[in-house]
A = this chain, B = another copy of it.
Amino acid sequence: MTGATPREADVVVVGAGLSGLIAARTVLAAGLRPLVLEADDRVGGRILTEEALPGVSVEIGAQWIGDTHHRMFALADELGVPTFPQYDEGETSYELVGSGVLRERDFHARFGAELAELERVLRLLDELAAEVPPEAPWLAPRAAQWDAITAGAWYDGQGLSPVARTLLEICTVGILSVPTVEVSFLHLLFTIQTCGVGAELFAESEGGAQTTRFVGGTGEIPRRLAALIGEHIVLGAPVQLIEHGPDGVTVHCRGGLVARARRVIVAISPALAGRIMYDPPLPGRRDQLTQRLPNGAAMKAFFVYDEPFWRAEGLNGQVISDLGPARMSNDSCLPGADHGVILLFLEGAQARRYGSWPEAERRAALTAELVRHFGPRAADPQCYVDGEWSERQWTRGCYNANFGPLGWTGYGPALAEPIGVIHWASTDTATQWSAYLEGAVEAGERAARAVVAELS
């Protein structure tokens, strides 16, 4: 555009989130030249480790892996990033449907029947999800029926008591990051099935997706990957235009950088991928897909104390509350550090509401919640940090993208299918653990392998 000399590569990768970095590393390992163009001034995408206090890091973004995240365990091992288990001793603190604050034991004693209802629905969800092929949810025998209703409407139809329905909502929103009435029931079943652990997915910190953390922070993963990819990464290069044809692509960034390559892997969420200009324009089906996969609304808030005082009280740091502002919390302490860290989740409607409040007011409302559950010491943290993702220009929402009704059956095949020399990555396109770190690795590897095969 400015007559600057284009940078040449074999494969341009758009986005230096985990999926893009994995794609670039795979391309590099095959003896080809990648060029990663990242809009932001850092790598990591939805991974963001920040120092709350010296030596006390918090995860504004992705924090955990689970026992079946084999790709991530292998990656951490290869990169030399040790892991440690999520703290999970003691009782959860509940307050649901006007129950007041109840310890887990008391909650279970009082709401045994409601918990049995919940178990029944989770088992039913497992049975239904087993019919959904995660690589092609639109081919499920009952796809048309399940895609025509929302997950919330299906939940409402199960005849649940208020406590069971509320608990189910909280657990599900913790995964989807939007209220269940915004999401297709088929998408919910896909989400369960893509993770391969059934509705155990909804269990906080046990079995499912949140058992293990990274020493030094999740940010160590992209940092070390980026070091391996080195000069093949350009930061501060927002892609505006991808010209493409059988011979390759010319990629134009804001600021004038131009790159030429034989293939491009677009490794950002579908909604953001739809904001790039493509020449020639993409098929209507792909374009309308990108209009129908909104990113969720989520923020995380951290309170750092001098010690994890709740542990001595026999509490595990987890809150489940419908009074809020946060619906859930957990213990986010670091191994070998004295500090106590509580993480509060604001997801869906909570993120929308409290995310627009001034920080001091949000913090005050969250403090009141912590005091209800953990006592007066919770009112006096050393430090407070939070992070909201829809404000971040190059992410625009977390944790992931969800289809509303008729999304999968109307547009699903356009999610990951390459278009000419354009390939798609990002965890949202994965078939195993879509929306998780594990899915980001799968998607990046899948796209890179396809490109490498075409170029070999």
A residues in contact (CB < 8 Å) with B: 1-2, 148-150, 152-153, 178-179, 181-182, 238, 240-241, 254, 256, 271, 274-275, 277, 281, 283-285, 287-288, 291-295, 297, 349, 352, 355-356, 388-393, 396-397, 404-406, 410-411
State A391–B287 Cα separation when bound (angstroms).
8
Q: Kindly list chain B residues whose C-beta atoms are within 8 Å of the C-beta of A238.
A: 277
Q: Kindly list chain B residues whose C-beta atoms are within 8 Å of the C-beta of A410.
A: 297, 349, 352
State A295–B291 Cα separation when bound (angstroms).
7
State A179–B149 Cα separation when bound (angstroms).
12
State A98–B142 Cα separation when bound (angstroms).
23
Copies in the complex: 2
Contact check, A396 vs B294: say whether CB atoms are below 8 A apart: no
Q: Write the nearest CB–CB distance from A156 to chain B, whole angstroms.
A: 9
Query: Could you list 16 further interchain pairs (A-B, Cβ under 8 angstroms) beyond the known A148-B179, A288-B390?
Result: A1-B2, A2-B2, A148-B152, A149-B153, A238-B277, A240-B241, A241-B254, A275-B275, A284-B392, A284-B396, A288-B294, A288-B397, A291-B293, A291-B294, A352-B410, A404-B404
Interface of A is mostly: loop
Contact check, B2 vs A284: say whether CB atoms are below 8 A apart: no
With contacts A1-B256, A2-B2, A240-B277 taken as known, whether A396 is within 8 angstroms of B288 at the C-beta atoms is: yes
State A153–B256 Cα separation when bound (angstroms).
50
State A389–B285 Cα separation when bound (angstroms).
11
Q: Kindly list chain B residues whose C-beta atoms are within 8 Å of the C-beta of A149.
A: 150, 153, 181
Q: Write the nearest CB–CB distance from A226 to chain B, whole angstroms.
A: 24
Q: Kindly list chain B residues whose C-beta atoms are within 8 Å of the C-beta of A297.
A: 288, 410
Task: Point out the residue from B179, B388, B390 that lies within 8 Å of A406, measured CB to CB.
Answer: B179
State A284–B349 Cα separation when bound (angstroms).
14
Task: Point out the residue from B287, B389, B405 that lies within 8 Å of A182, measured CB to CB.
Answer: B405
State A130–B241 Cα separation when bound (angstroms).
45
Q: Kindly list chain B residues whose C-beta atoms are within 8 Å of the C-beta of A285.
A: 352, 356, 390
Q: Write the nearest CB–CB distance from A281 to chain B, whole angstroms.
A: 4
Q: Write the nearest CB–CB distance from A298 to chain B, whole angstroms.
A: 11
State A178–B235 Cα separation when bound (angstroms).
40
State A326–B77 Cα separation when bound (angstroms).
57
9 smallest CB-CB distances across A and B, nearest first, come from: A284-B390, A291-B294, A281-B393, A284-B391, A275-B275, A404-B404, A181-B405, A148-B181, A271-B291
State A178–B410 Cα separation when bound (angstroms).
11
Contact check, A404 vs B182: say whether CB atoms are below 8 A apart: yes
Q: Write the nearest CB–CB distance from A267 to chain B, whole angstroms.
A: 18
